[in-house]
Amino acid sequence: MAVRLSSHPGHVHLIRKLKALGALPAAEETALLDLPVTLKEMAADQDIAADHTRPSHSGVLLNGFACRYKMLPDGARQIHSFHIAGDTPDLISLHLHTMDHGLGTLTPTTVAVIAHEVLRDLMLRHPRLGELFWRDTLVDAAIYREWMTGIGRRTAHGRIAHLFCEMYMKSRAVALANGYVFAFPATQQEIGDALGLSTVHVNRVMQDLRSEGLIATRPERRAAILDWDRLKALGTFDSTYLHMDPVRAA
Amino acid sequence: MAVRLSSHPGHVHLIRKLKALGALPAAEETALLDLPVTLKEMAADQDIAADHTRPSHSGVLLNGFACRYKMLPDGARQIHSFHIAGDTPDLISLHLHTMDHGLGTLTPTTVAVIAHEVLRDLMLRHPRLGELFWRDTLVDAAIYREWMTGIGRRTAHGRIAHLFCEMYMKSRAVALANGYVFAFPATQQEIGDALGLSTVHVNRVMQDLRSEGLIATRPERRAAILDWDRLKALGTFDSTYLHMDPVRAA
DNA sequence: CGAATACTTGAGTGGGGTCAACGCAAGTGG
DNA sequence: CCACTTGCGTTGACCCCACTCAAGTATTCG
């Protein structure tokens, strides 16, 4: 059932995210919100796009959480990124036609599905939007580099601290943080698969961070940062790679 | 001193690379080769673009080797990617204005430096070229994901095997491989910094791979793959992520 | 032919992995 | 409303892959 993107309240997160990336003129904003999309409600642990497939559509996450991941032949999993409302995680299938990894939901999720041809036409009509989306994929790439740095060279404590800093910054940018509290529904298993750690070790390190008074986690799958400065120092977190300052970027 | 990109023989690697990414019509090829560039000869271990700077130009590697890297406060280094002739490693500065990492040479190198405004104008005139370059940055991102997977979930033997497979495929794509022999001038130290391993361990594992008859390295800084199938299996290498098949991609 | 810059080797160590339970809350169905 | 299941977090014991430190031995190059 085709509706306009603007018909679902989740579109505000996309707009906020694009505005955090750079100037979004009114004409472009209107063109984007007028796009015909299909709303897809998904359960947790479903593939939005499976590895090795060739999608003909891309999606905007309107709510819920998703992740990008790769399964290895021995059953090990590496999670490459977490995605929250406002993200366009499979925009890349517009130019990389065969998926080289999977994209799956972590929680029940609403996705606005848009046909590739519609997106291509939009970007031809509005090159400024094309640039913003390109920029978005480049920020994703910067995040991969940062994770690579963490997995390769940071201790387990530093990696987990860094991840909490990043998820907080991303949530705040789309107004999904309430003070230092934000939704972070990943299990310890998933955090381990993201950071190259075992579940058991994630558990022990998170206990350390909690007992040190750095973070708190709630049964409702929310996280809170209790001491931003010390957490940031522990994870040697420098937000430059998130490229969230549109003023300096302009 | 401004010359045309076509004036340096290294331009052929760029053209080959773009053609491996997708169709490159003659008009676009001509427009690209006519670009005014400045040729810059650089020594080894110099920064093409330093961390935290705001470049106003991007470069094409015409020959030599470079790498993208990040230094951590404790002195540790993570190398994010290796780059060979034909690569455009700092194209991203066109849209991410502040460098969140460094880009440096590994060997003496020739770089064609192009002003951002010239590139922007080129892509407005030729959206098809813009798409190809976007695609190129997406392939780089796919390589980051693959490295992340390796560092997070592969053994040291698997990581090194995978890296040799990747560097061979990249060299072959721009006709810089001779059979299974290709230039790979990274030191064991640099390989370790790329794969999240210590120099000592890289050394021991490479001895294993040599004595197993999988690879050979030559004093002239060339590498040879002696048993492609076993090396590929050891690194669980699947070249999908390099997106090198323009036919299926079209 | 020194002086760097790699590459090698050995010995000892530790961060994080594995394996195997156990606790506990939230369904879910009878 | 209780028995069963399922998913997630937690704990303990043991172990190994890869790291560190320290000392070599080639190469390469001015």
In this prediction, residue B248 carries a pLDDT of 46
Nearest CA to B95 out of A58, A53, A30, A140 is that of A140
* Through-space separation of residue B166 CA and nucleotide D25 C1' in angstroms: 31
**Phi, psi dihedral angles at B33 (to 5 degrees):** -70, -20
Query: Which of A77, A127, A141 lies nearest to residue B137, judging by beta carbons?
Result: A141
Neighbour count for residue A250 (Cβ, 10 Å) = 8
Q: Which strand (E) or helix (H) includes residue A20?
A: helix A11-21
Q: Is the pLDDT of residue B247 over 70?
A: no
Q: Is the pLDDT of residue A104 over 50?
A: yes
Indicate which of B96, B137, B155 best probes the interface with A, i.e. most A CBs within 10 Å of its own CB.
B96
More confident residue, A250 or B71: B71
In this prediction, residue A245 carries a pLDDT of 73
Chain B: residue whose CA lies nearest to A244 = B96
In this prediction, residue B218 carries a pLDDT of 85
Nucleotide nearest to B155 (CA to C1'): D17
The span from the CA of A194 to the CA of A151, in Å, is 9
Mean pLDDT of chain B: 95
From residues 224-243 of B, list those within 7 angstroms of strand D by Cβ: none
Q: pLDDT > 90: what percent of chain B?
A: 93
The span from the CA of B55 to the CA of B40, in Å, is 15
In this prediction, residue B246 carries a pLDDT of 60
Q: Return the biggest CA–CA distance within chain A.
A: 54
From residues 162-201 of B, list those within 7 angstroms of strand C by Cβ: 187-189, 199-200
Q: Is the pLDDT of residue A248 over 70?
A: no
Q: What is the mean pLDDT of residues A24-37?
A: 96
B127: tokens are 């959206």
In this prediction, residue A249 carries a pLDDT of 42
- Note whether A70 contacts B: Cβ–Cβ < 8 A: yes
Give the pLDDT band (50/70/90) at residue A220: confident
What does the pLDDT look like over B122-136, one tens digit per residue? 999 999 999 999 999
Quick check: B139 and A77 CB within 8 A?
no
What does the pLDDT look like over B212-227, one tens digit per residue? 999 999 878 999 999 9
In this prediction, residue A246 carries a pLDDT of 60
Mean pLDDT of chain A: 95
In this prediction, residue B2 carries a pLDDT of 87
Nearest CA to B214 out of B250, B172, B162 is that of B162
Nearest CA to A194 out of A51, A71, A77, A90 is that of A77
Task: Tell me which of A146-155, A169-178, B194-203 is least confident.
Answer: A169-178
The span from the CA of B242 to the CA of B249, in Å, is 11
Give the pLDDT band (50/70/90) at residue A250: very low
Of the CA atoms within 13 Å of residue A158, those in its CB half-sphere come to 18
From residues 172-191 of A, list those within 7 angstroms of strand D by Cβ: 187-189
What does the pLDDT look like over A194-209, one tens digit per residue? 999 999 999 999 999 9
Cβ of A98 less than 7 A from strand D = no
pTM for the model:
0.96
Three-state SS for chain B is CEEEHHHCCCHHHHHHHHHHHCCCCHHHHHHHHCCEEEEEEECCCCEEECCCCCCCEEEEEEECCEEEEEECCCCCEEEEEEECCCCCCCHHHHCCCCCCCEEEECCCEEEEEEEHHHHHHHHHHCHHHHHHHHHHHHHHHHHHHHHHHHHHHCCHHHHHHHHHHHHHHHHHHCCCEECCEEECCCCHHHHHHHHCCCHHHHHHHHHHHHHCCCEEECCCCEEEECCHHHHHHHCCCCHHHHCCCHHHHC
Q: Is the pLDDT of residue A57 over 50?
A: yes
Give the pLDDT band (50/70/90) at residue A235: very high
Chain A: residue whose CA lies nearest to B244 = A96
For residue A87, the SS3 value is coil
In this prediction, residue B220 carries a pLDDT of 83
Interface of A with B in 78-97 (CB under 8 A): 78, 80, 92, 95-97
Nucleotide nearest to B204 (CA to C1'): C8
What does the pLDDT look like over A61-93, one tens digit per residue? 999 999 999 999 999 999 999 999 999 999 999
